[in-house]
Amino acid sequence: MNTLYMEEMRSVAAETLVAEWRNEFPILRIRVRGKPLVYLDNAATTQKPRAVIDAVSRFYARDNANVHRGVHALSQRATDSFEAARARVQGFLHAAASDEIIFVRGATEAINLVAQSFARPLLVAGDEILVSAMEHHSNIVPWQQVCRQTGAVLKVVPIDEAGEFVFSEYECLLGARTRLVAVTHVSNALGSVTDIARITALAHARGVPVLVDGAQAIAHLPVDVRALDCDFYVFSGHKCFGPTGIGVLYGKRERLEAMPPWQAGGDMVRSVSFDATEYMPIPHRFEAGTPDISGAIGLGAALDFVSAIGLTAIAAHEQRLLDLASVGLERIPGIRIVGTAGRKASILSFVMDGVHAHDIGSILDRAGIAIRTGHHCAMPAMQHFGLSGGTARASFAFYNTLEEVERFVDGVRRVYEIFQ
């Protein structure tokens, strides 16, 4: 059997699998402006499989009740499902225990929680927090706020012209006053994959804890928080085929147990009097008020769905999509790809000479192709590349097809022809 034939058979098998995966996403069958939807805005939010939609609907139809301490059957069922979702997250991240998993509204809230509960009590004037130049605003602004509150200083690890983390500068910036490193696992604007294990090892050698923003990594790369040895890892459910409004903060037990609650109210207390309050142990001390129960259940279903496919298979397919799209765009005159790191996830940012990114996005929308345009909540990264108008960004998921990539490339070529 010759090599070409074998490769063709593998390609056919892969496309058959993708068709099966796509069939689980009802929204992918709709038409936009009379055209079949090509959804390439997965870095902003992913679509939801039927398993997630059904899990949320089933909860509200059969089990809706508040969790924890209820003695009636519905409350017990809701609590069991909610805590089972926590256990699913633990397994997905390879955390040591389920009580290291805290449910929050999203990665943004998780970072703010760490900033205010972990960092702020430890910081004094002159202390330093390190971030990279390619961070999402959610991993910049909370640290700016805590620096203003404490007199600490925010230091920035630069990126190079490929959009890669500059380790030589990082090692120079790590110093006696460094109190925390907060860095993205995958850049939402560039697709660059950072070497978290190396970042963490260098920081820990100096006694510095590390927070990882995993919002863009969680649906594309296997994540093992114990292998990475990070102190905190955060992600949002909606970036991983789960509902909006639910997210996760993973923290090492010893870190979480030393942190005071950030928000106070119901369900995070063991006892209350007008003289004193005793808080619940982790994770409940960080989950004040009624949580997003259905969101957690939906997230658990999403992680089960992703696990059934396998992140290795997902990464391989998405790499094919990224490679095909990159080659296609490079053949169009006036296109510059922004973010050319040696290791990238499925994000493709680009600009076209003489054409605003918003115009690219609007013209593609007329063809039923959804991409994102602008600064992508990463203005410092855009400033690094001198891009005042931002970029056009296509971001891929495992349900995207090679045919959709070809439609996207043809659409960008049409934009070029319109503006000539």
Residue 9, pLDDT above cutoff 80: no
Quick: pLDDT tens for 101-141. 999 999 999 999 999 999 999 999 999 999 999 999 999 99
Q: How confident is the model at residue 289 (pLDDT cuts 50, 70, 90)?
A: very high
CATH code, domain with 259 = 3.40.640.10
CATH code, domain with 357 = 3.90.1150.10
Note whether 325 and 209 are same-domain residues: no
Note whether 304 and 315 are same-domain residues: no
pTM: 0.96
Please name which of 407, 366, 412 lies closest in space to residue 391, comparing C-alpha atoms.
412
CA 330, CA 65: separation in Å to the nearest integer?
54
Q: How many CB atoms lie within 10 A of CB 309?
A: 16
By the 8 A CB rule, do 208 and 231 touch?
no
For 105, residues 6+ apart whose C-beta sits below 8 A from its C-beta are 245, 246, 247, 292
Q: Which of 261, 288, 308 is the last residue of a domain?
A: 308
Please state the rounded mean pLDDT for residues 292-315: 97
Residue 5, pLDDT above cutoff 50: no
Quick: pLDDT tens for 50-107. 999 999 999 999 999 999 988 999 999 999 999 999 999 999 999 999 999 999 999 9
Please state the rounded mean pLDDT for residues 256-275: 93
State how many domains the chain has.
Answer: 2
| Location of structure tokens 């993708």 | 18
Residue 2, pLDDT above cutoff 60: no
Note whether 35 and 105 are same-domain residues: no
Note whether 217 and 230 are same-domain residues: yes
Q: How confident is the model at residue 286 (pLDDT cuts 50, 70, 90)?
A: very high
Note whether 13 and 146 are same-domain residues: no
Q: Which of 147, 172, 240, 377 is catalytic?
A: 377
Note whether 269 and 292 are same-domain residues: yes
What Cα–Cα distance (Å) separates residue 141 from each residue in 111, 145, 261, 294, 344? 10, 6, 21, 29, 25
Quick: pLDDT tens for 181-199. 999 999 999 999 999 999 9
Q: Which of 289, 308, 327 is the last residue of a domain?
A: 308
Note whether 28 and 139 are same-domain residues: no
Note whether 400 and 282 are same-domain residues: no
Note whether 208 and 261 are same-domain residues: yes
Q: Which of 308, 324, 341 is the last residue of a domain?
A: 308
Quick: pLDDT tens for 216-240. 999 999 999 999 999 999 999 999 9
> 137 is in which domain, residue-wise?
52-308
172 catalytic per annotation: no
Note whether 332 and 378 are same-domain residues: yes
Note whether 350 and 369 are same-domain residues: yes
